[in-house]
Amino acid sequence: MNPRNALFAGQPRSSGRNWARFASLIGTCKMNGVEPYAYLRDLFISLANGHLAKDLDALMPWAYAQRISTSE
């Protein structure tokens, strides 16, 4: 990761961790057959609408994949 990318990932010390978390989340989407952009869009909408912290499992990519497959 170059210094310019680190500007967008938070503090320089934590930028590696942030990128790793984001890459892991995107990788999990791909493993579950979920389009990452659609998942992240819906995730951020859910969080902005006040999704309850006690139900975090419902926000995971595998739960999203299940919701999408049952709605089709």
Q: Angle at Cα 63 formed by Cα 49 and Cα 14, nearest 5°?
A: 70
Q: What are phi and psi of 30, to 5 degrees?
A: -65, -40
pTM for the whole structure: 0.71
| Position 10 confidence tier, pLDDT thresholds 50, 70, 90 | low
The tens digit of pLDDT for each residue in 16-49 reads 777 888 899 999 999 999 999 999 999 999 889 9
The answer to whether 12 touches 1, Cβ cutoff 8 Å, is no
Amino acid at 6: A
For the residues 59-64, what does the mean pLDDT come to?
A: 91
pLDDT of residue 24: 93
Q: Which residue ranges make up each domain of the chain?
A: 35-72
Q: What percent of the chain has pLDDT over 70?
A: 79
